[in-house]
Amino acid sequence: MNNVFIFDHPLINHKIAILRDKSTGMKEFRELVEEITIIMTYESMRDVELAPVDVETPLEVTRQYRVPEGSVAIVPILRAGLGMVSGVHKVFPNAKVGHIGMYRDEKTLQPQEYYCKLPEGIQEKMVLLVDPMLATGGSACDALTALKKRGCKHIKLMSIIGAPEGVNKVAREHPDVQIYVSTLDRCLNENGYILPGLGDAGDRLFGTK
């Protein structure tokens, strides 16, 4: 699958080890998600298109290359994806943010879309769809379909932890999307949780359980 990139970066793995620990509290969990997302954003943007600009240094004018203003948008999958927005914003402070609300039905594990609000002109932007957990892949696949239905053409998906089942499903159903995962875990349990995983990312980010 040439649209899947597993980082396996030693420093990200160091942070993920702390993230997984059940004794890591909400504040530290949120900070780690932000820090990991900053590194992931740099790594996933190696092919970002730059535009030429002339910059006047104190010594001379030089031709340089910058990311065009407004060319990147962030779309978190609610709720847990919200935890990654501040990390992307550290790299692209002016990126507009769309929201897609999905929840997994706890019995069927099927994702249900309950909200979608996207910034104007998103169709022409590079869209970074973010969700820390890629489990069965149902939520990510449906969110990608929702974005494409609304005209988005250039999409990257960033997830901190992926299960093989979910990564394979998204890669198969959306071969045009680049999928970035920091670490690939072993499998899913019978309730659709990633093993070893980190538990429920939304609950740990927002203190709801």
- Would you name the residues annotated as active-site residues? 104, 108, 200, 203
DSSP string spanning the chain?
-TTEEE---HHHHHHHHHHH-TT--HHHHHHHHHHHHHHHHHHHTTT---EEEEEE-SS-EEEEEEPPTT-EEEEEEETTTHHHHHHHHHHSTT-EE-EEEEEE-TTT--EEEEEEE--TTGGGSEEEEE-SEESSSHHHHHHHHHHHHTT--EEEEEEEEE-HHHHHHHHHH-TTSEEEEEEE-SEE-TTS-EES--S-HHHHHHT--
What is the amino acid identity at position 194?
I
- Shortest reach from residue 73's CB to ligand URA, in Å: 24
Q: Which of 134, 144, 171, 179 binds ligand PRP (CB under 6 A)?
A: 134
- Shortest reach from residue 124's CB to ligand PRP, in Å: 26
Shorter beta-carbon distance to ligand URA: residue 98 or 202: 202
Shorter beta-carbon distance to ligand URA: residue 71 or 159: 159
Residue 139 interacting entry, from ligand URA, ligand PRP, none, C-beta within 5 to 8 Å by type: ligand PRP
Residue 98 interacting entry, from ligand PRP, ligand URA, none, C-beta within 5 to 8 Å by type: none
Shorter beta-carbon distance to ligand URA: residue 95 or 201: 201
- The structure tokens listed for 150 are 């609304």
The footprint of ligand URA (CB under 6 A) covers 80, 133, 135, 192-194, 197, 200-202
Q: In angstroms, rounded to a whole number, what is the distance separating the alpha carbons of residues 58 and 206?
A: 47
Mask 170-209, x = binds ligand PRP (CB under 6 A)?
----------------------x-------xxx-------
48-77 binders of ligand PRP (CB under 6 A): 77
Question: Is position 79 an interface residue for ligand PRP (rule: CB under 6 A)?
Answer: yes
